[in-house]
Amino acid sequence: MLIGVNWFVELVVGKYNGSGFEIQAQSNSFMTRHPYQYIYGPVASWRLGRSLGIDPLSTDQKTCSFDCVYCQTGRTKVLTLERKIFVPTEALLEEVRRVPPEPLDVVTFAGNGEPTLALNLGDMIRGIRTVRSERIVVITNGSLIWRPDVREDLALADFVMVKLDAGSSDSLEAVNHPAEGIGFEEICEGLRMFRKNYHGKLALQIMFVSSNKDLVADIVSRAQMIHPDEIEVNTPLRVCAVKPLTAEEMVPITDLFRKTFTRIPVKSVYEEERKKSQPYCRQSTDRRRGQELP
């Protein structure tokens, strides 16, 4: 028997202003009855297939180490580098045990914030393996990958997807607006160290918008130093504060990556099939993933 949990839902909605989508955080006073507080989806991911989302932070306010200009969940309310336990591991596992027995491709740690801020991320991954058989994915912005404890936690996953939207410290500031204390070179060195010892699949996900579309060569050069197993070329196709690049604008960007990385897959969002998600709860999923554009 499923026991409902009453919890507050903050929807993120958008309005097109002629050049992009304005994010409006709309605080709703209604309460939603839903059996899950820490998981969301399943979502139809163009990169991963049918994915059950895990939000290891599950905070009322978006908590992250970046405040990216394109984030589909709006502005970061708590900009921090502090790792701590947000969700007890056993509370998460109790919810995962109640997931209906239906086909999934992966279980993905992501959500409304940076998952590596969860101090018990490693314990959560170990616990998920005891109750689910799917591959475990972590989607991270890479801001803390210079820390040995974070690399140890990430190494427990089957597939790690790391953001690389910048080619320099200046472009990191312009696109990702990191918390104080995050250095671009430290991130890149942490990525190289992680790649050296990680035996799972490593992908670099690069989100292109107007502020970094002319920095492709710099980003390609940085990516070459990391030796990923896959490159994912993206532009925001969910409601956010900036306008996505067009399919035509993405062609030369994707071509340069493919000319450089000839031995690994280079995926582009406009070339992949994008299916509509059918989550258990639309509000909780949109809160963590954003609204899909029409």
| pLDDT band for position 22 (cuts 50, 70, 90) | very low
Q: Cα–Cα distance between 50 and 66 in angstroms, integer?
A: 27
pLDDT tens digits, 218-240: 999 999 999 999 999 999 988 88
- Cis link prior to 42 (omega < 30° from 0)? yes
Kindly state whether residue 116 falls inside one of the protein's structural domains: yes
What does pTM read for this prediction? Answer: 0.84
Nearest to 143 by CA among 165, 128, 158: 165
Per-residue pLDDT, 287: 56
Can you say whether residue 177 is alpha, beta or left, with left for phi > 0 and alpha for psi between -120 and 50 degrees? Answer: left
Kindly state whether residue 293 falls inside one of the protein's structural domains: no
Kindly state whether residue 1 falls inside one of the protein's structural domains: no
| pLDDT band for position 11 (cuts 50, 70, 90) | very low
Neighbours of 229 (CB within 10 A): 16
Kindly state whether residue 177 falls inside one of the protein's structural domains: yes
Kindly state whether residue 294 falls inside one of the protein's structural domains: no
Q: Cα–Cα distance between 100 and 201 in angstroms, integer?
A: 28
Number of domains present in the structure of the chain? 1
Domain of 204 in residue numbering reads as 8-272+281-287
Per-residue pLDDT, 43: 86
What value does the mean pLDDT take over residues 131-154? 97
Query: According to DSSP H, which parts of the chain are helical?
Result: 89-97, 121-131, 148-154, 169-176, 184-197, 216-226, 247-260, 282-289
Q: Which residues contact 175 (CB under 8 A, 6 or more apart)?
A: 68, 69, 70, 165, 166, 207, 209, 211, 212
Kindly state whether residue 230 falls inside one of the protein's structural domains: yes
Judged by average pLDDT, the poorest of 73-77, 157-161, 202-206, 280-284 is 280-284
Q: Is the pLDDT of residue 286 over 60?
A: no
Per-residue pLDDT, 110: 94
What value does the mean pLDDT take over residues 52-65? 94
Q: Cα–Cα distance between 21 and 197 in angstroms, integer?
A: 40
Per-residue pLDDT, 291: 56
CA distances from 133 to 59, 154, 169, 197 (A): 27, 18, 40, 24
What value does the mean pLDDT take over residues 179-208? 97
**DSSP string across 47-95:** TTEEEEEE-SS--SS-EES---TT-TT-S-SEE----B-SS-HHHHHHH
Kindly state whether residue 190 falls inside one of the protein's structural domains: yes
Instruction: Report which DSSP code applies to 246.
Output: P
What value does the mean pLDDT take over residues 171-188? 97
pLDDT tens digits, 263-283: 999 999 999 876 665 656 655
Kindly state whether residue 195 falls inside one of the protein's structural domains: yes
Q: Is the pLDDT of residue 27 over 90?
A: no
What value does the mean pLDDT take over residues 83-96? 97
What value does the mean pLDDT take over residues 90-98? 95
CATH code for the domain in which residue 235 is found: 3.20.20.70
Q: Is the pLDDT of residue 284 over 70?
A: no
Per-residue pLDDT, 84: 97
| pLDDT band for position 44 (cuts 50, 70, 90) | confident
